[in-house]
């Protein structure tokens, strides 16, 4: 089955084409036939985070050029101009580009379109959803609406071009710019959120703390770089930051207090030297890692998880990867750790195409007229 993946939930515009076969087991295999991604991170740097309206415009501007990179030209597509206009009239540039694209591209060999419909920034999600609808109608290809978080889980469950061999119950630690949650899957496609952040997401905390330290967006890689410097030089933090909710008997997280603690230090010391920032970055990263590791271990224990999947942008963090691996390798812990290669940890379209493929296998196609963006979508049964 050939699946076109589309992702626009945040500040990455991404499309890809995969060829996949087999069911959710050892016979599954996929190939990436085309993959195009445009990261808007540099554009949002001046805002210290993603500016939704700018992100939405950028998605609208970049989707067709990215699609042209993965679909070969030739032929043409007949389409109803009025219907197309109704669908994407809020994005005039997207409309114009689609008209031009259809004039030089016929219907490609694609069996299914997988598009992120949530969670994420709703104006951004709508651009991807309407783009998918336009292609679906013009080419008569069914759509599968994908939960972005399921995409992270599915991608993390892969090993190269196949599925990792693992056993349920599966516990997913999802750590991204918008989410921090522990999700239990007793079986395939079943989800129960067993812990989540009460305020900021882990990635959001990295981004906000980076901003406080005068580092560019996205903050995760920047903090991580400074923290690694401190570790290489064996510099121990002078200041102790809190480990929020570590002692509380639940699986929830909270990161806004940690950010406030950093803010207080920065306010009290307006002329922090680079050396001080390096130490602070290390202590911050240690604090986040301590909490993530402890709560994950607790959940593994509580639910008897055989597998831990880590996904989302923060799972690119080298120190957090290492700490989780160490903790799960300790004697007595039998859970297997599945973590994506760092370059696939952040948002991309492959994860959406993969999640879409498994939904398509179960004939979970969407009624195109009813498909909508759902910013607050949560994983459930």
Q: Where does this chain bind ligand KG4 (CB under 6 A)?
A: 10, 176-178, 203-204, 206-207, 218-221, 224, 312-314, 316-317, 346-347
Residues 6+ apart with CB under 8 A from 247: none
What token pair was written down for 193?
A: 């959120």
| Residue 282 and residue 226 in contact, taking contact as beta carbons nearer than 8 Å | yes
Give the whole-angstrom CA distance, residue 37 versus residue 152: 16
* Residue 326 burial (CB count, 10 A): 11
Q: Which is nearer to ligand KG4, 134 or 351 (CB)?
A: 351
195 binds, among ligand KG4, Zn ion, none (CB under 5 to 8 A by kind): none
Give the whole-angstrom CA distance, residue 189 versus residue 306: 16
Q: Closest distance between ligand KG4 and the C-beta of residue 245, in Å?
A: 19
138 binds, among Zn ion, ligand KG4, none (CB under 5 to 8 A by kind): none
Give the whole-angstrom CA distance, residue 69 versus residue 352: 18
Q: Which is nearer to ligand KG4, 184 or 289 (CB)?
A: 289
Q: Which is nearer to ligand KG4, 38 or 206 (CB)?
A: 206
Contact string (CB under 5 A) for Zn ion, positions 130-169, x = contact: ----------------------------------------
Q: Closest distance between ligand KG4 and the C-beta of residue 220, in Å?
A: 2
Mapped onto helix, strand or coil, the DSSP state of residue 182 is strand
Q: Closest distance between ligand KG4 and the C-beta of residue 115, in Å?
A: 15
Q: Closest distance between ligand KG4 and the C-beta of residue 118, in Å?
A: 11
Check binding of 347 to Zn ion (CB under 5 A): yes
Q: Which is nearer to ligand KG4, 138 or 157 (CB)?
A: 157
Q: Which residues face 38 on adjacent strands? A: 13
Q: In this chain, which residue has its C-beta nearest to Zn ion? A: 176
Q: Which is nearer to Zn ion, 204 or 347 (CB)?
A: 347
Sign for the CA dihedral angle at 297, 302, 304, 306 comes to negative
| Residue 138 and residue 272 in contact, taking contact as beta carbons nearer than 8 Å | no
Q: Which is nearer to ligand KG4, 150 or 204 (CB)?
A: 204
Q: Strands, DSSP E only, in the chain?
A: 2-7, 12-21, 29-39, 112-118, 143-147, 158-159, 162-163, 170-175, 180-185, 192-196, 307-311, 336-338
Only one of the segments 20-28, 174-182, 197-205, 258-266 lies at the binding site for Zn ion (rule: CB under 5 A); that segment is 174-182
Q: Closest distance between ligand KG4 and the C-beta of residue 311, in Å?
A: 8
Cα-based torsion angle of the residue sequence 130, 132, 133, 136 in order, rounded to the nearest 10 degrees:
160
Q: Closest distance between ligand KG4 and the C-beta of residue 150, in Å?
A: 12
Give the whole-angstrom CA distance, residue 238 versus residue 261: 14
Q: Which is nearer to ligand KG4, 237 or 340 (CB)?
A: 340
Please spell the DSSP secondary structure of 35-61, one letter per residue.
EEEEE-HHHHGGGTS--HHHHHHHHHH
Q: Which is nearer to ligand KG4, 197 or 317 (CB)?
A: 317
Q: Closest distance between ligand KG4 and the C-beta of residue 380, in Å?
A: 18
DSSP code of residue 300: H
Q: Closest distance between Zn ion and the C-beta of residue 203, in Å?
A: 8
Q: Closest distance between Zn ion and the C-beta of residue 355, in Å?
A: 12
Check binding of 176 to Zn ion (CB under 5 A): yes
| Residue 94 and residue 128 in contact, taking contact as beta carbons nearer than 8 Å | no
Q: Which residues face 74 on adjacent strands? A: 105
Give the whole-angstrom CA distance, residue 320 versus residue 350: 23
237 binds, among Zn ion, ligand KG4, none (CB under 5 to 8 A by kind): none
Q: Which is nearer to Zn ion, 297 or 355 (CB)?
A: 355
314 binds, among Zn ion, ligand KG4, none (CB under 5 to 8 A by kind): ligand KG4
Contacting positions for Zn ion (CB under 5 A): 176, 347
């Amino acid at each position: 089955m050939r699946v076109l993946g589309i992702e626009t939930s945040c500040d990455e515009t991404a499309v890809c084409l995969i060829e996949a076969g087999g069911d959710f087991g050892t016979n599954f295999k996929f190939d990436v036939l085309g993959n195009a991604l445009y990261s808007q991170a540099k554009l949002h740097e001046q805002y210290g985070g993603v500016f939704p309206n700018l992100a939405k415009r950028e998605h609208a501007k970049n989707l067709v050029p990215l699609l042209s990179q993965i679909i070969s030209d030739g032929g043409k597509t007949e389409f109803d101009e009025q219907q197309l206009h109704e669908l994407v009239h809020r994005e005039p540039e997207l409309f114009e580009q689609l008209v031009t694209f259809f004039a030089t591209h016929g219907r490609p060999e694609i069996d299914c379109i997988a598009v992120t419909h949530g969670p994420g920034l709703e104006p951004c999600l709508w651009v991807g959803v309407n783009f998918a609808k336009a292609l679906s109608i013009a080419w008569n290809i069914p759509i599968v609406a994908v939960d972005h978080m399921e995409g992270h889980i599915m991608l993390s469950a892969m090993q190269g071009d196949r599925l990792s061999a693992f056993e349920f119950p599966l516990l997913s630690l999802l750590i991204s710019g918008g989410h921090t949650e522990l999700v239990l899957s007793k079986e395939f496609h079943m989800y129960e959120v067993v812990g989540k952040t009460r305020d900021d997401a882990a990635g959001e905390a990295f981004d906000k703390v980076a901003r406080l330290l005068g580092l560019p967006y996205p903050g995760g890689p920047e903090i991580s770089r400074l923290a690694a410097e401190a570790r290489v030089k064996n510099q121990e933090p002078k200041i102790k930051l809190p480990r929020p909710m570590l002692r509380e008997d639940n699986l929830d997280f909270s990161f806004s207090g940690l950010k406030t603690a950093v803010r207080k230090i920065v306010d009290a010391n307006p002329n922090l030297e680079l050396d001080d920032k390096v130490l602070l970055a290390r202590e911050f990263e240690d604090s986040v890692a301590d909490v993530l590791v402890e709560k994950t271990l607790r959940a593994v224990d509580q639910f008897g998880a055989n597998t831990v999947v880590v996904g989302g942008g923060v799972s690119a963090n080298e120190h957090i990867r290492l700490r989780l691996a160490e903790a799960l390798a300790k004697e007595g812990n039998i859970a297997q750790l599945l973590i994506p290669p760092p370059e696939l940890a952040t948002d991309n379209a492959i994860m959406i195409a993969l999640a879409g493929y498994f939904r398509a296998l179960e004939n979970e196609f969407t009624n195109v007229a009813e498909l909508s963006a759902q910013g607050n979508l949560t994983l459930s049964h």
